[in-house]
Amino acid sequence: MVPSASVISDDPSILFNIAGMVQFIPYLTGREPAPFSRATSVQKCVRTEDIEEVGKTTRHGTFFQMNGNFSFGDYFKEGAIRFAWTFLTTPEAEGGLGFDPERLWATVHHEDAETVDLWLKETSLPRERIQFRGSEDNYWHTGQPGPGGYCSEIYFDRGPAYGAEGGPEADEDRYIEIWNLVFMEFELSAVRSKADFDVAGELPAKNIDTGMGLERVAFLKQGVENMYEIDEVFPVIEAASRLSGKRYGANHDDDVRMRVVADHVRAGLIIMGDGVRPGNEGRDYILRRLLRRAVRAMRLLGVSEPVLPELLPVSMEVMKASYPELERDFDRISRVAYAEEAAFLRTLESGTALLAQAVEKAGPAGTLSGEVAFALHDTHGFPIDLTLEMAAEHGVSVDAEGFRTLMSEQRERARADAKAKKGSAKDLSAFSALLERGRTEFIGYDSLSSDARVRGLVRDGEAVERAVPGDTLDLVLDVTPFYAESGGQRADRGLLTGDGFTARVLDVQSPVKGLSAHRVEIVDGEIAAGADVLAQVDSEHRFAAAQAHSATHLVHSALRSLLGPHAVQAGSLNQPGYMRFDYAYGDALSASARAEIEDAANTAVRDNMAVSYEHLPLEAAKASGALALFGEKYPEIVRVVDIGGPFSRELCGGTHVGSTAEVGPISVLSEASVGSGTRRIEAAVGLEAFRGLAKERTVLQSLSEMLKVPGADVPERVSSLMERLREAERTIAELGRARVLAAAAGAVESAREVNGVRVSATDLGQVADAGDVRTFVTDVRARMGEAPAVVAAAGSVNGKPSVVVAVTPEAQALGLRAGDLVKEACGVLGGGGGGKPDLAQGGGQDASKISAALDAVAAAAGRR
Average pLDDT, the chain: 88
Q: Is residue 720 part of a domain?
A: no
Residue 2: is its pLDDT beyond 90?
no
Find the CATH number of the domain harbouring 151.
Answer: 3.30.930.10
**Model pLDDT for residues 385-403, shown as the tens digit of each residue:** 667 767 776 778 888 888 8
Q: Residues 36, 21: contact at Cβ < 8 Å?
A: no
* H helix or E strand, kind and range, residue 666: strand 666-675
Residue 567: is its pLDDT beyond 90?
no
Label each residue of 99-118 as H, E or C.
Answer: CCHHHEEEEEECCCHHHHHH
**Ranges 126-130, 300-304, 675-679, 760-764: which has the least confidence:** 675-679
Q: What is the mean pLDDT of residues 115-129?
A: 95
Q: Are residue 194 and residue 111 in the same domain, yes or no?
A: yes
**Residue 549 annotated as binding?**
yes
Q: What is the mean pLDDT of residues 201-215?
A: 88
Burial class (CB in 10 A: 0-12, 13-18, 19+), 74: middle
Q: What is the mean pLDDT of residues 74-84?
A: 93
**Ranges 344-358, 393-407, 417-431, 759-773: which has the least confidence:** 417-431
Pick the last residue of a domain from 520, 537, 554. 537
**What does the chain come to in residues?**
864
pLDDT of residue 379: 67
Pick the last residue of a domain from 537, 561, 589. 537
- What is the spatial distance between Cα 203 and Cα 185, in angstroms, rounded to a whole number? 5
Pick the last residue of a domain from 481, 512, 537. 537
Q: Is 685 helix (H, G, I), strand (E, B) or coil?
A: strand
Q: Are residue 440 and residue 388 in the same domain, yes or no?
A: no
Q: What is the mean pLDDT of residues 19-26?
A: 76
Q: What is the mean pLDDT of residues 446-475?
A: 94
- What is the spatial distance between Cα 862 and Cα 864, in angstroms, rounded to a whole number? 6
Q: Give every CB contact of residue 312 below 8 A, 6+ residues apart in sequence.
A: 265, 268, 269, 333, 334, 337
Neighbours of 42 (CB within 10 A): 17
Q: Is residue 476 part of a domain?
A: yes
**Residue 377 annotated as binding?**
no
Q: Is residue 712 part of a domain?
A: no
Residue 420: is its pLDDT beyond 60?
no
Q: Residues 20, 43: contact at Cβ < 8 Å?
A: yes
Q: What's the pLDDT band for 863 if we cut at 50, 70, 90?
A: confident
Residue-wise over 816-841: b if at least 16 C-beta within 10 A, else e? bbbbbbbbbbbebbebebebeebbbb
Q: What is the mean pLDDT of residues 440-460?
A: 94
**Ranges 384-393, 458-467, 555-564, 698-707: which has the least confidence:** 384-393
Q: Is residue 713 part of a domain?
A: no
**Ranges 239-248, 669-678, 808-817: which has the least confidence:** 669-678
Q: What's the pLDDT band for 417 if we cut at 50, 70, 90?
A: low
pLDDT of residue 12: 61
Residue scoring higher pLDDT (36 or 83): 83
Q: What's the pLDDT band for 380 if we cut at 50, 70, 90?
A: low
Find the CATH number of the domain harbouring 814.
Answer: 3.10.310.40
**Residue 110 annotated as binding?**
no
Q: Are residue 477 and residue 524 in the same domain, yes or no?
A: yes
- What is the spatial distance between Cα 271 and Cα 266, in angstroms, rounded to a whole number? 9
Q: What is the mean pLDDT of residues 263-282?
A: 88
Q: Are residue 207 and residue 304 in the same domain, yes or no?
A: no
Report the percentage of the chain scoring pLDDT > 90.
54
pLDDT of residue 790: 94
Label each residue of 643-654 as H, E or C.
Answer: ECCCCEEEECCC
Q: Is residue 700 part of a domain?
A: no
Label each residue of 162-226 as H, E or C.
Answer: HCCCCCCCCCCCCEEEEEEEEEEEEEEEEECCCCCEEEEEEEEEEEEEEEEEHHHHHHHHCCCCC
Q: Residues 527, 503: contact at Cβ < 8 Å?
A: yes
**Model pLDDT for residues 721-765, shown as the tens digit of each residue:** 999 999 988 887 778 777 777 777 788 888 888 888 999 999 988
Burial class (CB in 10 A: 0-12, 13-18, 19+), 194: middle
**Residue 252 annotated as binding?**
no
Q: Residues 600, 563: contact at Cβ < 8 Å?
A: no
Residue-wise over 727-745: b if at least 16 C-beta within 10 A, else e? eeeeeeeeebbeebeebbe
Distances (CA, A) of 547 to 279, 553, 575, 681, 830: 30, 10, 9, 16, 56
Q: Is residue 403 part of a domain?
A: yes
pLDDT of residue 17: 81
Q: Are residue 381 and residue 433 in the same domain, yes or no?
A: no
Q: Is residue 99 part of a domain?
A: yes
Residue 32: is its pLDDT beyond 80?
no
Q: Residues 523, 635: contact at Cβ < 8 Å?
A: no
Find the CATH number of the domain harbouring 499.
Answer: 2.40.30.130
Q: Is 132 helix (H, G, I), strand (E, B) or coil?
A: strand
Q: What is the mean pLDDT of residues 779-790?
A: 89
Q: Is residue 117 part of a domain?
A: yes
- The DSSP call for residue 145 is S
Find the CATH number of the domain harbouring 564.
Answer: 3.30.980.10
User: Structural domain of residue 650, as residue ranges?
Assistant: 542-694
Q: What's the pLDDT band for 421 if we cut at 50, 70, 90?
A: very low
- What is the spatial distance between Cα 133 and Cα 151, in angstroms, rounded to a whole number? 10
Residue 11: is its pLDDT beyond 70?
no
**Model pLDDT for residues 308-326, shown as the tens digit of each residue:** 999 999 999 999 999 998 9
Q: Are residue 645 and residue 687 in the same domain, yes or no?
A: yes
User: Identity (one letter) of the amino acid at 154?
Assistant: I
Q: Are residue 80 and residue 122 in the same domain, yes or no?
A: yes
**Model pLDDT for residues 796-827, shown as the tens digit of each residue:** 988 889 999 999 999 999 999 999 999 999 99
Q: Residues 827, 796: contact at Cβ < 8 Å?
A: no
Q: What's the pLDDT band for 422 if we cut at 50, 70, 90?
A: very low
Q: Are residue 780 and residue 811 in the same domain, yes or no?
A: yes
pLDDT of residue 393: 67
Whole-model pTM?
A: 0.59
- What is the spatial distance between Cα 442 and Cα 510, in angstroms, rounded to a whole number? 12
Q: Are residue 62 and residue 200 in the same domain, yes or no?
A: yes
- Looking at the 3D structure of the chain, how many domains does it have? 6
Q: Are residue 365 and residue 505 in the same domain, yes or no?
A: no
Q: Are residue 791 and residue 814 in the same domain, yes or no?
A: yes
Q: Are residue 454 and residue 404 in the same domain, yes or no?
A: no
pLDDT of residue 298: 93
pLDDT of residue 383: 66
Residue 424: is its pLDDT beyond 60?
no
